[in-house]
Amino acid sequence: MSGGAREAAPEGAPEAALEVLRAGALTTLQDLGRPGYAHLGVPRSGALDAGAYGLANRLLGNPPDAAVLETTLDGVGLRALSPVTVAVTGAPCAVRVSGRAAAWGAPVRLRAGAELEVGRAESGVRSYVAVRGGFAVPRVLGSRSTDLLSGLGPAVPVAGTVLPVGPAGPDPARGADELRAPGAPTELVLPLRLGPRADWFEPASVAALWRAEFRVSPASNRIGLRTEAGARLVRGRGGELPSEGMVLGAVQVPPDGLPVVFLADHPVTGGYPVVGVVPPGPPLNAAAQAGPGLPVRFVRG
C-alpha cells in the first residue's frame, strides 16, 4: 500500500504544488505517524524529530498533523509551481531561494517558478521542510507518513515528483515561535528506564551501562539508532526469547551486545531482549539528529 507523491505532469497539475528538483540522500514525507496499528503489524512511523516537525508547522500556522518533508544530511531542492510559503527547521542548514540566501527557521515566501535549495546539514542530520497548507498526499491508515520498513505511505520522492499542497490557513501570529540555530551537539544523553528484560543480562554488565560511552554507528537509520565502541552487554542467561511487542524508544540488545535504540520505523515485534526504554521527549528527538561518531551515554531515566 503506497501512493501520494505523483510524477511531474505538465497538464492537470494541482493549483498549489512543489516539484522536486533534487531529492537528496533520503527525503521522505512525514507527519505524526500512524499509532495504534501495532496489533496489525504496522509501525508507528512519523517524523523522527517531533520537536522540529511541530515547530515547522507552527511557524506556518498549519494543523499539528500537517505533512512535511524530512531530509537526511544533504537537504533537498524544490521548485514552486505556484506561490507558496515554506519554513525549514531541524538541522541548521543554508537556505537559498533562486540563488539568494533566505531565512532558516522562519516563513519564506516563494513565487511561482522560484527554486528552493535546502543545503547540507551544518550540524545534526535531519531538516524539515514545511509548506503552508501541508503536503496534500493521500493518507494511508490515517497518516501521510512514509514508512520505510513496511512500505506504507507515499513513495519516496525523486527528481520530477510533484507534491500537491493543501489549502493554506490563516497566517500565524507573529512572534509565536522564536527559533535560533542550536549549537553542534557534543554528546547524546538518553534517559533509560530498565526493563522488561534487564534480568537477561549480567548485573555487573547492566551496572557498567551507566558508565559506558558508546558512539553512533553509521548503520543507524529511521528504524533504529545503532551504537558501537561501547561496553558490550553480556547475557546472563541463554536460550531464545519469543518475539514480543516493541515500542518507540525500546533499547534492544542483539548478540553483539551493543544497544540499538528503536526509532519511528521500528518493527512492532522483536526477539532480542530489551534492556530498557527511552521515553518519548526531547532526548529521543535528539537521537534523530545524532550523526555517526557522536558519543552516546545512557543515564537512569
Domain that holds residue 78: 6-164
Among the three residues 164, 198, 223, which one is the final residue of a domain in this structure? Answer: 164
Q: Please give the single-letter amino acid code of residue 261.
A: V
Identify whether residues 127 and 237 lie together within a single domain.
no
Identify whether residues 224 and 117 lie together within a single domain.
no
Identify whether residues 66 and 112 lie together within a single domain.
yes
Q: What is the pLDDT of residue 182?
A: 67
Give pLDDT < 70 ranges for the chain.
1-14, 173-184
Which 3 state secondary structure label does DSSP give 54? helix
Closest CA to 146 of 137, 155, 138: 155
Q: What is the pLDDT of residue 171?
A: 74
Identify whether residues 158 and 194 lie together within a single domain.
no
Q: What is the pLDDT of residue 45?
A: 96
Identify whether residues 38 and 115 lie together within a single domain.
yes
Whether 274 is in a domain gets the answer yes
Distances (CA, A) of 126 to 70, 103, 295: 6, 17, 18
pLDDT digits (tens, 9 = 90+) for 209-221: 999 999 999 999 9
CA distance 144 to 138: 6
pLDDT digits (tens, 9 = 90+) for 13-64: 457 999 999 999 999 999 999 999 998 889 999 999 999 999 999 999 999 9
Domain count for the chain, please give it: 2
CA distance 211 to 236: 19
